[in-house]
């Protein structure tokens, strides 16, 4: 498997206050494509970052409408994965993918 295919399953890290607090518990949050599944994500993350993944939770955020300046705006949904790593391991998101 080439490096290009490994990075296809990870779109970007999700950096929010909530995801930063999860990093204290060895958890990292990534935005993933809608076709991603737990088995392929686990293999790719272990190969890319050389860590041991113990658990993966996938959350599918639905489309929603938002009121902006008095107009309804459609906000597209996305899929995100919460990756739990083995105790003592971490991924440094500041270096980039």
Global pTM reads: 0.83
Residue 93 resides in a domain:
no
Report the share of the chain in percent with pLDDT over 70: 93
Check pLDDT > 70 for residue 96.
no
Residue 96 resides in a domain:
no
Give residue-wise pLDDT tens across range 31-60.
999 999 999 999 999 998 899 999 999 999
Residue 29 resides in a domain:
yes
Residue 22: give its domain's CATH number. Answer: 3.30.70.330
Report pLDDT for 1.
52
Which domain range does residue 55 map to?
3-87
Residue 16 is classified by DSSP as S
Q: How many domains does the chain have?
A: 1
């Amino acid at each position: 498997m080439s490096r290009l295919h490994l990075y296809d399953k990870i779109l970007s890290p999700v950096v929010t206050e909530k995801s930063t607090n999860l990093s204290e518990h060895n958890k990292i949050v990534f935005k993933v494509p809608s076709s991603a599944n737990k088995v392929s994500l686990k293999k790719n993350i272990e190969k890319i970052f050389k860590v041991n993944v113990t658990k993966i939770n996938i959350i599918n955020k639905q489309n929603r409408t938002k009121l902006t300046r008095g107009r309804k705006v459609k906000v597209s949904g996305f899929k995100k994965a919460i990756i739990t790593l083995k105790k003592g391991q971490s991924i440094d998101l500041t270096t980039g993918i």
